[in-house]
Structure 1
Amino acid sequence: MMASAESPSDDLKYILVSHAPDSDSWWNTIKNGIAVAGDQMGVSVEYRNPPTGDLADMARIIDQAAASQPDGIITTLSDFEVLKGPIKSAVDQGIDVIIMNTGSPEQAAEVGALMYVGQPEYDAGLAAGKRAARDGISSFLCVNHYISSPSSTERCQGFADGLGVELGNQMIDAGQDPSEIKNRVLAYLSSNPDTDAVLTLGPTSADPTMLALAENGMAGEIYFGTFDLGEEIVNGIKGDVIQWGIDQQPFLQAYLPVVILANYDRYGVLPGNNINSGPGFVTKEGLAKVEEFAGEFR
């Protein structure tokens, strides 16, 4: 006799809180990830975020989420000092917490979370820098569109360390506005014409950077790597403008915590280790499946 695979009707509710502003389309994959997991596991899921990406606002959202007494909170830890208090408070109230996307396994343990699911950002930057070094790169521009988040700077610093060079002024505060990002990239490359490479940290900075390179004639000429994936990034890889995209598999960062929490609440089972969802490098040779689901599940 086969056991039933039907989910128990236990009204479990989980809230995912991210640090992302409304303008960042990369997080659509996160929203899809919790939606799929919620449907499959038969649980209620909700996505919350600070509209402008303000981390103090995010801290308040975590407090509000905890006050609603969900069965679990899944949250990013983009700034340990700002967010550790609200997260520890939620844990102290008996709410299970999983850290995803930003932060580290060590920080997740320190705030009392069950585990960490994500891509260690410094390690990903370091791997990218070592890859670029093998390709002959020795200088770069890091276009940081979310400089208030320490994890973003870790990406740039890791890349510099992978190259074996000082980060220095090679990282710029690009802001969130697409036209401003484009102008700042153009200005930097005009002032530093011998720059070997460009590193962007996601679609928010990659898309305007591609426009800048098309305008100054450097598209396809300058070495270009980016974190994360999106429709335009995939087009850039296909068109030989971008050498590689670092896939941290955001779908898994959202999907797995919901599945893990549901099974933990129902059966008391929990993975014994944190889960690294990345980094993986997507190049032109491996685009077929990525292109099909870019911006949706990849």
Structure 2
Amino acid sequence: MSKLLLTAATIVAPIFGATQAAAEGETYILVSHAPDSDSWWNTVKNGIALAGEQMDVNVEYRNPPTGDLADMARIIEQAAASGPNGIITTLADYEVLKGPIMAAVDSGVDVIIMNSGTPAQAREVGALMYVGQPEYDAGFAAGQRAAGDGVGSFLCVNHYISSPSSTERCQGFADGLGVDLGNQMIDAGQDPSEIKNRVLAYLSANPETDAILTLGPTSADPTMLALDENGMAGDIYFGTFDLGEEIVNGIKAGTINWGIDQQPFLQAYLPVVVMTNYHRYGVLPGNNINSGPGFVTADALELVEKYAGEYR
């Protein structure tokens, strides 16, 4: 859920040169909260690039290299100041990001919120619409599924705890199970070795843990390594948000029970298509678009496996 070259400390060059050929077309900038290290966002980059090519518009992807949200706020301000036709942005922390987003809207730049935040928050900041997966609802649905499978306790490996939407996933899972979140969520950080060690330490201290929930490849991949090391792979119930090559392999191997697919390709692709048609023809969908959640299991892996990390 190849890396782009940075043109400045916080700005990424327009992706895929073909989109730059649309010199007379509209310009749309997607700003995410993701650090450069998070490979899950490659699918988002592919989505905006393909939409730019198909709609004959200019597209750019920008992000804070370390995932710092204050840095992201500045990038949104810079994007708005460059005078694009539209900005597509995540809303990882409403309090930090609402100011620059509302300022962009006030300056005449159309905005679509994608991936994080809520439809209600999108309306509050003046965005045209929201395209994404309601994070708490997805966590709640996952918790209900796990409860039906007999899970009563769990470890939530939160690799991006500074983002409220990540905590919503863990909280929703706990509520779906009907248990308190309490200390069942850990701040795993983003270093793979640290994530692995913290998972091993938690499971050693809490050997009766029924299940593990990870929030994407950044935390899922090292967690699988931890389970291989302590011999729990395939024995402990394991669900994860998002998809990636190693997650798909884990589902195939029986290490991971299911992955929650929020379809990041659509989260980037659809806003470009919607904005282009809005600016050209004045048409706009009447409702927000939920791109997920959908549960991917070993029974439905053929297309997912083929396109994992690229379009899925």
Same fold (TM over 0.5): yes
Q: Are residue 135 (structure 1) and residue 149 (structure 2) matched? A: yes
Deviations 1:29-61 (A, max 9, x none): 000000000000000000000000000000000
Gaps of 5+ in 1: 1-7
Which residue in 2 is equivalent to 1:25? 39
Select which of 270, 274, 284 maps to 2:298. 284
Alignment of 1:140-159 (within 5 A): 140-159=154-173
Which residue is 1:117 aligned to?
131
**How far apart are the structure 1 equivalents of 2:181 and 2:228?**
26
Query: Residue type matched to 1:168 in 2?
Result: G
Per the alignment, residue 263 of structure 1 pairs with: 277
Q: List structure 1 runs of 4+ shifted beyond 6 angstroms.
A: none
What SS does the corresponding residue of 2:193 show, helix, strand or coil? helix
Q: Displacement, 1:11?
A: 1.9
Helix, strand or coil: the match of 1:193? coil
Distance between the aligned counterparts of 2:28 and 2:259, measured in 1?
31
Shift of residue 269, structure 1, vs aligned partner = 0.3
1:79 is matched with 93
Q: Is the 8 A contact 2:154 2:184 kept in 1?
A: yes
Question: Quick one: distance in 2 between partners of 1:251 and 1:10?
Answer: 25
Which residue pairs with 1:53 in the alignment?
Answer: 67
CA distance in 2 between partners of 1:141 and 1:45 (Å): 39
1:59-112 superposed Cα distances (whole Å, 9 cap, x missing partner): 000000000000000000000000000000000000000000000000000000
By how many angstroms is 1:15 displaced?
Answer: 0.1
- Is contact 2:203–2:209 with CA below 8 Å preserved after alignment? yes
1:231: which partner in 2?
245
Contact 2:23–2:58 (Cα < 8 Å) also in 1 = no
In structure 2, the partner of 1:3 is none
Distance 1:11 1:296 in 2: 26
CA distance in 2, matches of 1:186, 1:34: 38
Task: Name the SS of the counterpart of 2:84 in structure 1.
Answer: coil
For normalisation by structure 1, the TM-score amounts to 0.97
Paired with 2:178 and 2:275, the residues of 1 have a C-alpha distance of 41
Ranges in structure 2 where 5+ consecutive residues have no aligned partner: 1-21
> Aligned with 2:111: secondary structure?
strand
SS in 2 for 1:186: helix
Structure 1 residue 160: Cα displacement: 0.1
Choose which of 180, 190, 193 in structure 2 pairs with 1:176.
190
The one-letter code of the counterpart of 1:82 is V
TM-aligned CA deviation for residue 9 of structure 1: 7.7
Matched, 1:240 2:254: yes
Please point out which of 105, 108, 111 is paired with 1:91.
105
Paired letter, 2:170: C
CA shift, 1:10, in A, is: 4.2
SS in 1 for 2:87: strand
How many equivalent pairs are there? 291
Show the counterpart of 1:206: 220
Partner Cα distance (1:103, 1:275) in 2: 13
CA RMSD of aligned residues (A): 0.8
Pairing partner for 1:63 from 68, 71, 77: 77
Pair 1:185-2:199 in alignment: yes
| Structure 2 match to 1:5 | none
Same amino acid, percent of matched pairs: 82
Q: Of the candidates 40, 46, 49, which is equivalent to residue 54 of structure 2?
A: 40
Equivalent position amino acid for 1:109 in 2: R
Task: Give the residue type in structure 1 aligned to 2:270.
Answer: L
Q: Determine the C-alpha separation between the residues in 1 that align with 2:54 and 2:25.
A: 14
Q: Determine if the alignment matches structure 1 residue 293 to structure 2 residue 293.
A: no
